[in-house]
């Protein structure tokens, strides 16, 4: 099966979806499901795109992510560290690690994200966990947008 690339980070017959059904701790981000598991690859491959100034939710979960930056550049928070990321960088997000992507480099940030089809629900930080994370000034600067 071939899904034809239509240009501008769109693929034939693949809908550009809202990032999440609900929630408020994200901004200017879309989701496309490029692959939804087949036979012995029980994985979903998604393409997320964050517009300039936007960000994904601050979250953690037991399942892991494999991410490949496909478009532009920005930053990712991984645990207690902020990293600059650019096209073709590969990021592994380990289990139970707080993470957020931000398009804060005057560019959109698009990335492929591989996850298991069978995965646990996302956890968002409680007020207490958030204030704990913000003990780190570089995390505060990254989160307070
Ligand atoms: Mn996640």
CA of 104 to the centre of ligand 1 (A): 19
Describe the chain by its helix, strand, coil percentages, rounded to 5: 10, 50, 40
Active-site residue identified among 82, 85, 113, 143: 113
Ligand 1 centroid–CA 39 distance in Å is: 24
Residue 22, pLDDT score:
80
- Rounded to the nearest whole angstrom, what is the distance from the C-alpha of residue 103 to the centroid of ligand 1? 16
63-120 tens-digit pLDDT = 999 999 999 999 999 999 999 999 999 999 999 999 999 999 999 999 999 999 999 9
The pLDDT of residue 89 is: 98
- Verify whether residue 73 is a known catalytic residue: no
pLDDT at 83: 98
8, 78, 113, 128: CA torsion to nearest 10: -100
What's the whole-model pTM score? 0.95
Question: Domains along the chain?
Answer: 13-143 (2.60.120.10)
Contact 54, 84 (CB under 8 A): no
Residue 127: count of CB within 10 angstroms of its CB: 7
Q: Each residue of 10-45: pLDDT tens digit?
A: 999 999 999 988 888 999 999 999 999 999 999 999
Residue pLDDT, tens place only, 104-121? 999 999 999 999 999 999
Q: How far is the CA of 56 from the centre of ligand 1 (A)?
A: 9
């Amino acid at each position: 099966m071939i899904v034809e690339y239509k240009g501008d980070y769109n693929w034939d017959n693949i809908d550009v979806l809202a990032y999440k059904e609900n929630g408020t701790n994200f901004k200017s981000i879309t989701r496309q499901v490029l692959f939804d598991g087949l036979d012995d690859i029980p994985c979903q491959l998604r393409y997320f795109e964050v517009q300039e100034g936007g960000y994904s939710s601050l979250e953690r979960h037991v399942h892991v992510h494999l991410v490949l930056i496909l478009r532009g550049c920005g930053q990712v928070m991984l645990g207690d560290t902020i990293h600059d990321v650019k096209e073709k960088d590969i990021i592994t997000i380990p289990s139970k690690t707080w993470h957020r992507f931000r398009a804060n480099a005057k560019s959109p940030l698009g990335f492929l994200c591989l996850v298991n089809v069978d995965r646990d629900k996302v956890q968002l930080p409680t007020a207490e966990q958030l204030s704990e994370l913000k003990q780190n000034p570089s995390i505060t600067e990254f989160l307070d947008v």
